[in-house]
Amino acid sequence: MLGRAANGVYWMARYLERAENTARLIDVGFHLALTRSNRSSQEEEWRSVLTTTGQEAGFLAKNADVTGAQVFNYLLRDRDNPGSVLAMIENARTNARVVRTSITNEVWEATNETWMILRELLARPVRETNLGEVLSTIRRRATLVRGAMEGSMLRNEVFNFARIGTFIERADNTARILDVKYYVLLPSVAWVGSSLDNVQWDTLLRSVAGNRVYSWLNAGAMDPRDIARFLILDGRFPRSLVFCFEKIRSNMAGLAKQYGGEVQAHQLLRDAGCRLHDTNIETIFEGGLHEFLQDFLGRTYRIGESIAADYRFTA
Amino acid sequence: MSSAGGPRYDEMLNDDGSVRAAYADFRHWYDGQDVAWLRRQDVEAERFFRRIGITFNVYGDDAGEERLIPFDMIPRIITAKEWRKLTRGIEQRVRAINAFLQDLYHRQEIVKSGRLPVHFLRENEAFLTQMIGFTPPGGVYTHIVGIDLVRTGADDFMVLEDNARTPSGVSYMLENRETMMQMFPELFTKIPVRPVSDYPRRLMRSLQACAPSCAGSRPSVAVLTPGIFNSAYFEHAYLADQMGAELVEGSDLRVCNGRVQMRTTEGYKPVDVIYRRVDDNYLDPLSFQPDSVLGVAGIMDVYRAGGVTIANAPGTGIADDKAIYSFMPDIVEFYTGEKPILKNVPTWRCSEADSLAYVLDNLSELVVKEVHGSGGYGMLIGPTSSKKEIADFAAKLRTKPANYIAQPTLSLSTVPIFTKEGLAPRHVDLRPFVLVSPDGIDITPGGLTRVALKKGSLVVNSSQGGGTKDSWVLDE
């Protein structure tokens, strides 16, 4: 396939995943705003949403205060924000148009329709009363596109590049969320076990859609170290780092098989995979959770760059 | 304002209001339908087009704004007998166009014979000196041709324009049919309509048959598009997809080892046939416009050395130029030795003093077009223009007469469209699509019917508010 087309499906999948992740983060911020009366702690939550999405600087350049409505409108639909959900959906659709011949009609139509629906839904400022509808539409639409890919695409290089895009984005997202909030999981924090902590932990799980599964697995009990283990090392959870890396690995293996050989990215991936597999949560905490996550984010980034270069995404 | 030039021919109704044979079955079906249901289907059709993304970008509008070409659900119906005659005429014309191009870039017999004054070549930018003395693989210049036909009477089809560069619109022919079959499947069980859906496969086969000799047994074909901002991008992607060809942009291609190669995830791989939807000017920055990023540097050298087929061949624009058009009856006769089966629209070349004088005197009754214009831009339709518009146009005409041709305002035939008030006649044209390869000339039974949606309007171009219809050729 063309290098440009590989680039297109890869980014189409990444943007869709990123749009969905942003919607989840906003949902968490909103949820907290409803459960917390303290204005400054609400503001703190919205700030951490901005930090996690890497959009704090852009937001503060335009807005003096950090209020919920300002933050979610900025993240969802602000024309000056190239990282808004609307912009990402537009990017995803533009990439889908570029690779129209590589994807199936189902995938194209699902993507195009997503763009049409969200453009309409985000044409006017979002209010708290319809935020829930907007966020669930984004999640449902992303699920639909993923389902269309799953159900209609040939399992070949095109599919592999799309999946690699999805899981690199997702791994990056989970690691980022953890890194912004890593301190709430550290044992040194004084108020361990307080109800506030429970809310913080719940928030963390919620932002990767893991709160219910985690509660189910642990019969409602919460333990910070175990939460970290769950989000990093539990291969059953589809947003954990290990799960994402296993998906990247298998899709990269698919490419190696079709192309009759490996590229540099395969080696980088193996190195990063070893760091995840040959460890346990105790070792991670000993070496420092933040340091571990920073290292992971750096490696994921380099793998992405290497894939783009090795498979000639651009001339 | 209705069209000038005599009574109008309606393709569905006789003068006495009875239904013509071609439309009898359809009209019978239509009269049995619930109008409210038809209205809902009409709305549904638009939604369908939006979702599948059949849109085009209008130049000059907000960047990225995509529009739908309005689709009208009443089919345009052509009988088997009419089609037989049309195909004979089209085939003759297309053969003549290829022979004409071969001659122009070689011995120029037609100029020597005195039938075509040499200045029509010399002063024409579409004539490419780079093509002189070169014969494209298989001897084919125009691999894909769209012949624009208009009808003025029961047996009067005329060629309005030959599109010999990169005719567009074929995706509408295909999608309109697809839509009709989805909306009204029972119609196709009742009426024998010839299929058009194998066009992409025929196109692929036809292009592969024109591959250069260096190609293997399964020549690789790529569709070269200017990119997603081009007005016809949807069509480029659609065709590539249906043909099973790669859709490439200039940046995906480069010349190495005497071949044009595309950048794949596994490295560079040669392309044998390039169906380009990029104009001559942008094809090769080394040969033509130096700042073009849409083309491939050095592709013309590879082409001339026989390393790639470019479809259509560069320099075919000379054959569909509007001034050359006026010579087409002579051209057909010169190369085929036969009388033209399809008529030309009478055309005055404003470069000639007598013609110019006549045109200036009769502007209010004529249609004046730019020689190199297209898309309905920069033209004057006398009968529907104000005195001031005519005066302004006359001034332009006097300054640069050679830039214009004039034709009588034709009374184009009408076909009904579906409106809130029921069926209403509107003017139409027809663009059948023709494939040329060493294996022969292949005409898909149907084509693109463009329809002027405004009452009385004669301009069918999509850029000027025209719509499209499904075009049916009935089986014998």
SS3 A114: helix
Q: Please judge whether B265 and A259 are an interchain contact, meaning their C-beta atoms are less than 8 angstroms apart.
A: yes
> Which residue in chain A is spatially nearest to B241 when comparing CA positions?
A101
Q: Are residues A286 and A304 in the same domain?
A: yes
The answer for B222, left when phi > 0, alpha when psi is -120 to 50, beta otherwise, is beta
In chain B, which residues have their Cβ closer than 8 Å to the Cβ of A108?
52-53
> Which residue in chain A is spatially nearest to B247 when comparing CA positions?
A101
A95-102: average pLDDT: 90
Q: Please judge whether B51 and A94 are an interchain contact, meaning their C-beta atoms are less than 8 angstroms apart.
A: no
pLDDT cut 90: percent of chain B above it: 76
Model pLDDT for residues B356-411, shown as the tens digit of each residue:
999 999 999 999 988 876 656 678 888 888 999 999 999 999 999 988 999 998 88
Asked whether the predicted pLDDT for residue A44 surpasses 80, the reply is yes
Q: Are residues A148 and A161 in the same domain?
A: no
- pLDDT-based confidence at residue A272 (cuts at 50, 70, 90): very high
The reported pLDDT for the residue numbered A188 is 58
Q: Are residues A186 and A61 in the same domain?
A: no
The 3 state secondary structure assigned to chain B is: CCCCCCCCCECCECCCCCECHHHHHHHHHHHCCCHHHHHHHHHHHHHHHHHHCCCEECCCCCCCCEECCCEEEEEEEECHHHHHHHHHHHHHHHHHHHHHHHHHCCCCHHHHCCCCCCHHHHCCCCCCHHHCCCCCHHHCCCCEEEEEEEEEECCEEEEEEEECCCCCCHHHHHHHHHHHHHHCHHHHHHCCECCCCCHHHHHHHHHHCCCCCCCCCCCCEEEECCCCCCCCHHHHHHHHHHHCCEEECHHHEEEECCEEEEEECCEEEECCEEEECCCHHHHCCCCCCCCCCCCCCCHHHHHHCCCCEEECCCCHHHHCCHHHHCCHHHHHHHHHCCCCCCEECCCEECCCHHHHHHHHHCHHHEEEEECCCCCCCCCEEHHHCCHHHHHHHHHHHHHCHHHEEEEECCCCCEEEEEECCEEEEEEEEEECEEEEECCEEEECCCCEEEEECCCCCCCCCHHHCEEEEEEEEECC
Model pLDDT for residues A208-245, shown as the tens digit of each residue:
988 889 988 888 788 888 899 999 999 999 999 999 99
- pLDDT-based confidence at residue B121 (cuts at 50, 70, 90): confident
Please give the mean pLDDT across all residues of chain B. Answer: 91
Model pLDDT for residues A130-176, shown as the tens digit of each residue:
999 999 999 999 999 999 999 999 999 999 999 999 999 999 999 99
Sign of CA dihedral B213, B219, B222, B223: positive
Calculate how close chain B gets to A234, using CA atoms only, in Å. 33
pLDDT cut 90: percent of chain A above it: 71
Model pLDDT for residues B12-37, shown as the tens digit of each residue:
999 999 999 999 999 999 999 999 99
Half-sphere exposure for A193 (CA within 13 Å, toward CB): 2
Q: Are residues A149 and A291 in the same domain?
A: no
In chain A, which residues have their Cβ closer than 8 Å to the Cβ of B51?
109, 112-113, 116
Calculate how close chain A gets to B313, using CA atoms only, in Å. 25
A191-196: average pLDDT: 54
The reported pLDDT for the residue numbered B63 is 42
Dist CA B52 CA B54 (whole Å): 6
Based on the structure, what is the number of domains in chain A? 2
Nearest to B402 by CA among B441, B453, B348, B365: B348
Asked whether the predicted pLDDT for residue A254 surpasses 60, the reply is yes
In chain B, which residues have their Cβ closer than 8 Å to the Cβ of A255?
265
Calculate how close chain A gets to B234, using CA atoms only, in Å. 8
Q: Are residues A25 and A46 in the same domain?
A: yes
Closest partner residue to A109 (CB to CB) among B51, B237, B240 is B51
Q: Please judge whether A97 and B240 are an interchain contact, meaning their C-beta atoms are less than 8 angstroms apart.
A: no
Q: Are residues A238 and A176 in the same domain?
A: yes
Model pLDDT for residues B30-59, shown as the tens digit of each residue:
999 999 999 999 888 888 777 776 666 544
Dist CA B269 CA B33 (whole Å): 55
Strand arrangement, sheet containing B221-224: B246-248, B221-224, B273-276, B309-311
Tokens of A286: 């000993």
Q: Please judge whether A2 and B238 are an interchain contact, meaning their C-beta atoms are less than 8 angstroms apart.
A: no
Q: Please judge whether A2 and B263 are an interchain contact, meaning their C-beta atoms are less than 8 angstroms apart.
A: yes
Closest partner residue to B251 (CB to CB) among A105, A113, A315 is A315
Asked whether the predicted pLDDT for residue B61 surpasses 60, the reply is no
Tokens of B360: 């200036």
Dist CA B451 CA B469 (whole Å): 7
Q: Are residues A236 and A176 in the same domain?
A: yes
Dist CA B11 CA B20 (whole Å): 7
The reported pLDDT for the residue numbered B461 is 78
Q: Are residues A114 and A75 in the same domain?
A: yes
The reported pLDDT for the residue numbered B3 is 43
Q: Which class would CATH give B347-409? A: alpha beta
Give CATH 3.30.1490.270 domain extents, chain B.
347-409
Asked whether the predicted pLDDT for residue A194 surpasses 70, the reply is no
The reported pLDDT for the residue numbered A197 is 64
Among candidate residues A122, A153, A184, the one where a domain is terminated? A153
CA-CA distances (angstroms) from residue B256 to B271, B273, B296?
11, 16, 11
Q: How far is CA A46 from the centre of its chain?
A: 17
A266-289: average pLDDT: 93
Q: Are residues A165 and A240 in the same domain?
A: yes
Among candidate residues A108, A133, A153, the one where a domain is terminated? A153
Residues 6+ apart with CB under 8 A from B68: B46, B49, B50, B54, B55, B56
Find the domain containing A35 and state its range. Answer: 1-153
CA-CA distances (angstroms) from residue B49 to A107, B45, B154?
16, 6, 33
In chain B, which residues have their Cβ closer than 8 Å to the Cβ of A2?
246, 248, 252, 262-265
CA-CA distances (angstroms) from residue B181 to A71, B189, B199, B401, B433?
48, 10, 16, 48, 21
C-beta atoms surrounding B4 within 10 Å: 18
pLDDT cut 70: percent of chain B above it: 94
The reported pLDDT for the residue numbered B59 is 46
Model pLDDT for residues B68-106, shown as the tens digit of each residue:
788 999 999 999 999 999 999 999 999 999 999 999 999
| Residues making up chain B, counted from first to last | 476
Please give the mean pLDDT across all residues of chain A. Answer: 91
Among candidate residues A153, A172, A198, the one where a domain is terminated? A153
Dist CA A305 CA A298 (whole Å): 11
- pLDDT-based confidence at residue A276 (cuts at 50, 70, 90): very high
In chain B, which residues have their Cβ closer than 8 Å to the Cβ of A101?
237, 240-241, 246-247
SS3 A237: coil
Tokens of B52: 């599948």
State the count of interchain CB pairs (< 8 A) between A and B: 58
| Residues making up chain A, counted from first to last | 315
Residues 6+ apart with CB under 8 A from A38: none
Calculate how close chain B gets to A253, using CA atoms only, in Å. 15
B105-125: average pLDDT: 92
Q: Are residues A131 and A148 in the same domain?
A: yes
Q: Please judge whether A2 and B251 are an interchain contact, meaning their C-beta atoms are less than 8 angstroms apart.
A: no
Model pLDDT for residues A304-314, shown as the tens digit of each residue:
999 999 999 99
Residues 6+ apart with CB under 8 A from A133: A121
Q: With beta carbons less than 8 A apart as the criterion, state whether B440 and B433 touch.
A: no
Asked whether the predicted pLDDT for residue B7 surpasses 50, the reply is yes
CA-CA distances (angstroms) from residue B438 to A54, A300, B209, B305?
59, 54, 7, 20
Asked whether the predicted pLDDT for residue B1 surpasses 90, the reply is no
Q: In this structure, which amino acid lies at residue B242?
A: Q
Interface of chain A toward chain B, CB-CB under 8 angstroms: 1-4, 6, 94, 97-98, 100-101, 105, 108-109, 112-113, 116, 157, 255, 259, 311-312, 315
In chain A, which residues have their Cβ closer than 8 Å to the Cβ of B264?
1-3, 312
Tell me the ipTM for this assembly: 0.84
Model pLDDT for residues B186-202, shown as the tens digit of each residue:
999 999 999 999 999 99
Q: Are residues A177 and A100 in the same domain?
A: no
Model pLDDT for residues B294-353, shown as the tens digit of each residue:
899 999 999 999 999 999 999 999 998 888 999 999 999 999 999 999 999 999 999 899
- pLDDT-based confidence at residue B6 (cuts at 50, 70, 90): low
B128-149: average pLDDT: 96
Closest partner residue to A4 (CB to CB) among B52, B252, B254 is B252
